Amino acid sequence: MNAPDPPTELTQRLAALARVGLVAPEGLGLGPFFRALRPPRTQAVADMPFIAAPGAQLGLLNRPEEAASHLLDLPAEVLERLRAGAGVVAFDGASEGRPLVATHVSALHGALDRAGIPPHRAAWLQQNRVLGLRYAAFCAERGLAPMHVVTADSYGFLLWDRLFGRLRRPWAWGCALAEGPRRHRWICLNYVLRPHRALIAHWLMARPEPGHLSLSTQRETMDAAARARFLAETERLEAGSTGPIAALLDSGLHLGGDTDGFGHPQERVMSLPVPELATAELFIVTETEMSGGGLVRWTEKTLKALACGLPFITFGNPQTVAGLEALGFDLLRDLVDHGYDSEPGPARRFAAARNSVARFLARPLGFTPREMERLRAASAHNRDVFAREILRVSALEPLDRLFAMLHGI
């Protein structure tokens, strides 16, 4: 018997979720994973198993005392049912992912202690695919009973839902593979200013090849301490960069790109400048972070590049490419050198990724007919993988983990 297709699998999980109550503190609301799922109705919890799913964003977890008092600030009768085993807790931070931070652990365990909920009845939803092992070791060293750690990705699921599911499609799969001349050798899209983004943008602007860049030094105001930290991080990524990047910060540069004017962050997250992509050769992805350790994740930034069909190079965490290839994606290693992906050190990985960009840009202009055929074949293959695997890892498996907890499996 054939397995259900991905939309049918999602429908089945949502039907199961409709039989489960959902609750969250009034001041926090449901977290990003459950908001992205758009449950079919608002559920009561009086006489059914339920999930307490408060939003557990990093900004709150950085304030552990406040988090401990707010994350499970639920009515007394709901807390009593939680203590009696009628429900589970899902601390929902599925729009973010960071390395293990003791403050975050203190915040979550503090909320459980305050509410009298044993940790084995709670899950921590977030994007870092290696957090579970590090958290388990952290708890073992300190004699703490651990929560479940569930890898989930609300933005990855939202992108899937836009491309294959229930929401309005923002652009077509493979939208960059149109016929015609390629006037941009590269495209590099940036919103929040970060050290590795400033460095690669400065390097690209100094190169002779034409490209399309979005980057702004005007969206954020840095105080002296934040500026010093920013420049110190750029110096760690590339020695001798402090002066040029300080000048870039002072330049007032604003290349807003397609994201200027959007009123809702979700529209920005899902957006792509399709006319520019359709005349570009290489997508240079600058992920959310590049400098830390203990972090393995990709975000919708890399997934959008994959979906548009162009070869891409990612300035981000190590093992991003390897992780996507393990899901079955074809990342065009015959056209792009992804050796940077295995470099654990941020500075060496940054240099290796930049060298990979330089090697790609040394190619003859445009794509040959055979290369276009190769790109379209990879895009068709990747579409099938995306439809199946991104739904699975971003939404279906996390839901299955929570259902198993709820039923005591």
HEC-encoded secondary structure of 296-351: CCCCHHHHHHHHHCCCEEEECCCCHHHHHHHCCCCCCCCCCCCHHHHCCCHHHHHH
Q: What is the pLDDT of residue 1?
A: 46
Average pLDDT of span 155-179: 93
Confidence of residue 263 (pLDDT cuts 50, 70, 90): low
pTM of full prediction above 0.75: yes
Q: What is the pLDDT of residues 347-390, one digit of tens each?
A: 999 999 999 999 999 999 999 999 999 999 999 999 999 999 99
CA distance 279 to 176: 7
Q: What is the pLDDT of residue 39?
A: 81
Q: Which single residue is written with the structure tokens 């599911």?
A: 165
Q: What is the CATH code of the structural domain delimited by 174-384?
A: 3.40.50
Q: What is the pLDDT of residues 61-102, one digit of tens each?
A: 999 999 999 999 999 999 999 999 999 999 999 999 999 999
Residue extents of the structural domains in the chain: 6-152, 174-384
- Locate 335 and state its tokens: 């056209």
Q: What is the pLDDT of residues 179-238, one digit of tens each?
A: 889 999 999 999 899 999 999 999 999 999 999 999 999 988 899 999 999 999 999 999
- Locate 239 and state its tokens: 């020695």
Query: What integer best gives the mean pLDDT of the chain?
Result: 93
Q: What is the pLDDT of residues 132-156, one digit of tens each?
A: 999 999 999 999 999 999 999 999 9
Strand order across the 184-189 sheet: 254-255, 211-216, 184-189, 280-286, 312-315
- In sequence order, the 6+-apart residues with CB closer than 8 A to the CB of 326 are none
Q: What is the pLDDT of residue 45?
A: 60
Q: Which single residue is written with the structure tokens 């996507």?
A: 324
Least confident of 4-8, 169-173, 349-353, 360-364: 4-8
> Is-contact 125 90, C-beta < 8 A?
yes
Looking only at the bridges linking them, the beta strands covering 211-216 and 254-255 are antiparallel
Q: What is the pLDDT of residue 265?
A: 62
Q: What is the pLDDT of residue 42?
A: 53
Beta strands in 175-319 (DSSP E): 184-189, 211-216, 254-255, 280-286, 312-315
Report in angstroms the alpha-carbon separations of 405 from 51, 308, 365: 10, 37, 54
Amino acid at the residue 39: P
